Structure 1
Amino acid sequence: MADELDLLRAADPAPADGPYFGDGPLDHTAERHLARLLHTPRPGRRIRFRPRLLWGLTAAAVVAATTLTVLFGGPSGAPAVAAPRPLTVRTHSTPVPLAQVAQLAAVAATDGSPALRRGTHVQSWSLAMSDDRPPVTLPEERVVRWRADGTHTEVVVATDPDHAGRPVLTDTGRVEDGKVLSRQTFPPMWGDAPPLSTPPHDPAKLRAYLTDLIHSDTLTTSGLLDATAELLDNWTLGARESAALAGLLADARGLRPAGQVTDRLGRTGQAYVLDTGTGGRRMLILDPATGAVLGLETTFTRDDPAYGVRAGDVMEYRAWMR
């Protein structure tokens, strides 16, 4: 194994002692780019997604380091502005139980509108940490749209940290503001496994779908949130799918209602908090009337001087739009 690792390190243009990432953990953006590198098929090829390959982590670190260079001008560039403040629950607001949200979502889904749509529009921010550098921010917005022939386009824009929460992309991918990181068109892709296969709106089938999506045998509450984020990074849920997902969340253990919150796009939602027990807290934001997921935020619950972070600092967030 040592020989193989030495070969990988030698082939890696971003050395372990470089200014960004090194052998640190990957954020969801880097993992998504790696998955695309590993799984993008030849035109017309039908594929089936399977577990990610662990040996690909080095390649993903290269992708992430490249993104950082584009955003901040390389090692000599100035670091981004301070991390965003964590979302705060409105004082004295009344928490809405998840079971009630699931009931309201089921009623709202009666006519099946809006419908499920392939693709996503998401604004995200994540914290990349290094042993010998200050934290670095990665603000971006992404629009993915699929065509009937199986091709799809993706536009990724670096958002302005001074105007956090303001969308800089239209739903069609036109750039209103921000720096374009990539604009790509991908060849036809089909598959019979998540996330290419269509998510069901039956709760039991959706649970199986999400379990398969994160390549797990069981679906813990933390795993359910991971699967939800992955699902929404690929699909814009319709009313029925949102209702089914709300039902699964209502049955999950450990998600406690916290009250009303205004998300990073100015939308009012209900917050549900999960303490992971590993130094992090996750906050899920739902539209209480429809059960639609508006956002997901992770914050630190304890200081980590080695990485220059404190309890309450934001680790990452995502805000999904229709």
Structure 2
Amino acid sequence: MSDELDLLRDADPVPDQAPHFGDGPLDHRAERRLASLLGQDRRRLRPPRARWLWSLAATAVVPAVALVAVLGGPGGPPAVAAPRPLTVQPRSAPVPLAQMVALADAAAAAGSPGLRRGTHVQSWSLGMSEDGPPVTLPEERVVRWNPDDSRTEVVVATDPDRPGRPVLTDEGDTPHLVSDGHVLSRTTYPPSWSDAPPQARPPHSPAALRAYLTEMAHTHTKAPLTTSQLLDAAQELLGHWTLGARESAALVRLLADAGDLRPAGRLTDRLGRPGEAYVYSGTGVRRMLILDPRTATVLGLETTAARDDPEYGVKAGDVLDYSAWLR
């Protein structure tokens, strides 16, 4: 028993800052991590010093020799380059969030599209280690629910910035290159349902959605969510649901009411879509929310480092995490 407990503590599949800590259900990442742990050969475990620190939480192990092989070695161009932070188009006029609220309300009045359970997201996460340079792991995840409340999750290694090029993945216990489109996992989960967020159906009025996101964030005070907490909660929500026009309108109104998102101007996101950018500068990071300029639907969320971190080779402006949601 002690071996199993040590294994779970080291892997930390459900960190205490996670939205589901406590009495809520596990999210998809935690379920995948627990499933892999249950089938993992303990002889493959490595000392904790070599453990990877993902942009916000995850873990893996990377020998320095493997990093040299993957990245091409000293003096050679890296096989996998980190994405550059998104930049706003020069001389583009920033659009106030209040104007995006009006666009979202107009889209909601049409009544479509509707809310859909499941998600389709492409993401980039920065892996950091004490023993090697940071590396970026891109992947695409599609979650589809069935009428009996079972669901299927497919995770693929792919990077739209470099179509057809090899992709770095943490599949197994050592980061390595795989072919573009390589299926990392295909999992079917049995029927399940919960009346707690984010499993419960999200409401479409701003007040009800605020309460829903507050419950999902597991804040035990009556204080309103901070902008950072609201962005975290929105990202978690979009990891479970594809919002309809009414839910998107409620979410944009909450973001506008937060007051800390600064309009930055027009840009093109990582999937080639036009977007309006809104920036929030938190402690040590800069977060950029990208909205569809026609409907104010959330297209993406980027987190970049606001200052250097020499210990892990991170420089100000490095992309720590990026998510791009598709319908």
With normalisation by structure 1, the TM-score equals 0.76
Q: Which residue of 2 aligns with 1:107?
A: 106
Distance (Å, rounded) in 1 between the aligned partners of 2:270 and 2:87: 11
Please state how far the C-alpha of 1:314 moved relative to its aligned partner. 0.6
Identify the match of residue 215 of structure 1 among 218, 229, 236: 218
- Would you say the 8 A contact 2:120–2:326 is kept in 1? yes
Q: What SS does structure 1 have at the residue aligned with 2:203?
A: coil
- Would you say the 8 A contact 2:275–2:299 is kept in 1? yes
Distance (Å, rounded) in 1 between the aligned partners of 2:268 and 2:160: 18
- Would you say the 8 A contact 2:274–2:293 is kept in 1? no
Can you list the C-alpha shifts for 1:207-257, whole angstroms capped at 9, x where unaligned? Answer: 111111121244110001001100111100000000111110110121000
Distance (Å, rounded) in 2 between the aligned partners of 1:38 and 1:209: 26
Identify the match of residue 302 of structure 1 among 287, 307, 312: 307
Distance (Å, rounded) in 2 between the aligned partners of 1:148 and 1:123: 25
- Would you say the 8 A contact 1:88–1:261 is kept in 2? yes
Residue 116 (structure 1) aligned with residue 115 (structure 2): yes
Q: What SS does structure 2 have at the residue aligned with 1:297?
A: strand
Please state how far the C-alpha of 1:33 moved relative to its aligned partner. 2.1
Q: Which residue of 1 aligns with 2:231?
A: 225
Distance (Å, rounded) in 1 between the aligned partners of 2:201 and 2:288: 26
Gaps of 5+ in 2: 19-25, 36-50, 72-78, 168-178
Q: Which residue of 1 aligns with 2:326?
A: 321
With normalisation by structure 2, the TM-score equals 0.75
Distance (Å, rounded) in 2 between the aligned partners of 1:35 and 1:214: 19
Residue 149 (structure 1) aligned with residue 159 (structure 2): no
Residue 11 (structure 1) aligned with residue 20 (structure 2): no
Residue 78 (structure 1) aligned with residue 77 (structure 2): no
Aligned-partner residue type, residue 297 of structure 1: E
With over 3 angstroms needed to count, the CA separation of the structure-2 counterparts of 1:76 and 1:310, relative to structure 1, is: closer
- Would you say the 8 A contact 2:86–2:269 is kept in 1? yes
Please state how far the C-alpha of 1:288 moved relative to its aligned partner. 2.6
Q: Which residue of 1 aligns with 2:128?
A: 129
Q: Which residue of 1 aligns with 2:270?
A: 264
Aligned-partner residue type, residue 313 of structure 1: D
How many residue pairs match? The answer is 276
Q: What SS does structure 2 have at the residue aligned with 1:191?
A: coil
Aligned sequence identity (%): 62
Residue 237 (structure 1) aligned with residue 243 (structure 2): yes
Q: Which residue of 2 aligns with 1:46?
A: none
Gaps of 5+ in 1: 16-22, 40-57, 169-175
